[in-house]
Amino acid sequence: MNSSPNILTMNVKRNFVWLLPLLIIISGPLWWSGVGELLKPRGSFDAPAPPPRTQLKTFVLDEVLLVQNRDGRDEFTLKAARINSGIHEDVLELEKIEVQLVGDDGRPTLLSGGEAIYHTGQQIITIIDNVRLQTADGQEMRTEALRYLTKYRKLKTAENVWLADEKVQVAGGNMFYDLIDGNFRIGGGVRVDLY
């Protein structure tokens, strides 16, 4: 008799173990949606879309004449055998160029070279390959590379430079030329020959 209460307690415990999963399954539709929302992964499993590719608009122009005007008068006239839009939207690549720079007095300075790059945003023309400059005073200058700062109306080079007119010949390591006042500055091992 002593053993019967233990068997009864044991049966109740065993029934209770079965009763708990049965109650969870029966009441499931009431709580599945709430738990499902809680356990739902956040975000997306899709790979992120690649950024849109902007296509650089390129062009090639042959036999081009470009005139820059400031305050109602021509500042420079540039002729090029060919202009290509560069690898950047603010860069133009020019071939076989001739530039006529007009000073404040209206007298032209002629500039020529084999190739050039025009940085439109910075307003700088970089000329390379057999650069020649002919001033209104008859002076001739030669170098391998030259920059024209259109905004400031100045020419400069860090390359070897040769300058001559009928009375003097000057060779140096760099040069600066101000189109506004017409002054040359040559430095870097200057050699002067007078005739």
Report pLDDT digits (tens) over 27-41: 888 888 888 888 887
C-alpha span between 166 and 128 (Å, rounded):
26
C-alpha span between 172 and 186 (Å, rounded):
6
pLDDT at 9: 63
Q: Which amino acid is at 127?
A: I
C-alpha span between 130 and 146 (Å, rounded):
10
Please choose, from the candidates 141, 132, 127, the residue with its C-alpha nearest in 3D space to the C-alpha of residue 170.
Answer: 141
Average pLDDT of the chain, as a whole number = 85
Domain over 77-194 is classified CATH 3.40.50.300: no
Please choose, from the candidates 143, 115, 140, the residue with its C-alpha nearest in 3D space to the C-alpha of residue 127.
Answer: 115
pLDDT at 113: 94
Range name among 8-22, 106-120, 126-140, 174-188 with the lowest pLDDT average: 8-22
C-alpha span between 182 and 136 (Å, rounded):
9
Q: What is the mean pLDDT of residues 101-105?
A: 79
Q: Is 1 a residue whose pLDDT tops 70?
A: no
pTM: 0.66
pLDDT at 90: 87
